[in-house]
Homo-oligomer: A and B are copies of this chain.
Amino acid sequence: MQKAAVIGAGYMGSAITFPLSDNGIEVNLWGTWLDDSLIESSLKGFHPKLKKPLPENVKLYYWRDIKAALGDTEIIFIGIASEGFVKVFELLLDNLDPDRTYYFFKLTKGLVEYEGKIMRATEAAFEMLRKKFNNEKGRNSSSSGKILWASVGGPVRALDLAFRTPSASMYGLSDTKIKDMLQDFSTDYYRIFPTDDLEGVEICSIFKNVYAMAAGICDGIFKKENEGTYFNIVAFLFNQAVQEIARIVEIAGRRKQTVFDLAGVGDLHVTSAAGRNRRYGELVGSGVDGETAFKKMYAEGEFGEGFVALKLGIPWLSDKYNVTENLMKEELPLLNTLNRIIFKKENPAFSVKTLAAQLGY
């Protein structure tokens, strides 16, 4: 029987156990030190975030039992929030067998900080792998073990997946060999679309959380103003977001087509329609300032990925791709506007209307 370890017992880590165990895979779900109450409750038959029991054959592990959770599996799904990624990945590395081949599937979406530098989670992971195993290309050129990597994107909201609603995921693969595996994970309701544009998928996953806040902000503004309807501006900014993510992916030297597909258009759609980043945006649109809204949600156990991705994303674009403030104003004006609203306390209604008036004729 195939085995898989899932790292992180929050929304996405727990949700991915549904298609995996429906495929007859023996799943070990491991919770971080922040997930103790989730594991405890799940052991009693109810996952508090997914609001339902996990599949019967999923085995649950507290964070101290990482060795047991990893067991002898080669397949590791990482489903933790970006803030915990580096710390958890380091712990993971301490418990891997350097002479074995592993297949990693990264569900985490966001940028991370590693040794004072902002980077994609996959970059940080490969840096850590290189250091740990003292090997220039991660472990790919080592004689014994190998790392195969997939960055998972696409429009998969954990709650829907856990209800087995048809969902589409885009897997950016480091190696075409992984393709042969995908049918072991997919089900009638969990469909997988592979691509070799791993970096493109990952950039989409970072920025869709940023831009999804725009939909929430618009709703917040218009609910507060309590007059008129606001579907046009949400669609206007949705399209603008797609164009800007495409521009960012282009700047990063990857394919725009990845953005005009499930990883971009698809994921931005679901993230704009429902979930934490949208809710965060609504708070801001209704007048709560950016930092306060983040803290408020954090206190309620909800991590605002979009807020953090915006905070890290702007210096990342500047440091890595030389995106100047001027270039941002001209070519990424919605990103610039979100920055002004969230970090410079600009009035949301004023900012959004000013932005709209500057675009087009």
**What's the least CB distance linking A324 to chain B, in Å?**
25
Asked if B267 and A229 sit within 8 Å, CB to CB, the answer is no
> Could you say which residues of chain B place their CB within 8 Å of the CB of A191?
236, 356-357, 359-361
Interface residue stretch chosen among A141-149, A152-160, A296-304: A152-160
Query: Does A352 reach chain B (CB closer than 8 Å)?
Result: yes
- Give A230's nearest chain B residue, CB to CB: B165
Which A residues between 282 and 313 are near B, CB-CB below 8 angstroms? none
Q: A260 to B231, alpha carbons, bound, how many Å?
A: 19
The answer to whether B274 touches A231, judged by C-beta atoms less than 8 angstroms apart, is yes
Decide yes or no whether A63 CB sits under 8 A from chain B.
Answer: no
Copies of the protein in its oligomer: 2
Point out the residues of chain B lying under 8 angstroms from A238, CB to CB. 265-266, 269
A273 adjacent to B234 (CB under 8 Å):
yes
* CB of A60 within 8 Å of the partner chain: no
- Is A168 interfacial (CB-CB < 8 Å)? yes
Q: Which of B188, B261, B266 contacts A353 (CB 8 A)?
A: B188
Q: Are A192 and B361 touching (Cβ within 8 A)?
A: yes
Q: Which residue in chain B gives the minimum CB-CB distance to A183?
A: B361
* Chain B residue with the shortest CB-CB distance to A243: B261
Contact of A352 with B166 at beta-carbon distance under 8 Å, contacts A193-B361, A361-B191 already known:
yes
| A96 partner residues in chain B, CB cutoff 8 A | none
Q: Which residues does chain B contribute within 8 Å of A156, judged by CB atoms?
A: 232
CB distance from A296 to the nearest CB of B (A): 23
Instruction: Indicate if the CB atoms of A166 and B233 lie closer than 8 Å.
Output: yes
Most buried by B among A164, A265, A361: A361
Known: A193-B361, A231-B275. 20 other contacts (CB 8 A): A159-B229, A160-B233, A163-B227, A163-B229, A165-B233, A167-B236, A168-B232, A168-B236, A179-B361, A189-B357, A193-B360, A229-B274, A234-B269, A236-B262, A238-B266, A239-B266, A246-B260, A260-B265, A265-B265, A269-B269
> What are 9 A-B contacts defined by CB distance under 8 Å?
A163-B229, A165-B229, A165-B230, A167-B232, A168-B236, A179-B361, A191-B359, A192-B361, A235-B266
Closest 7 CB pairs of A and B: A163-B228, A166-B356, A155-B235, A239-B266, A235-B270, A191-B360, A167-B232
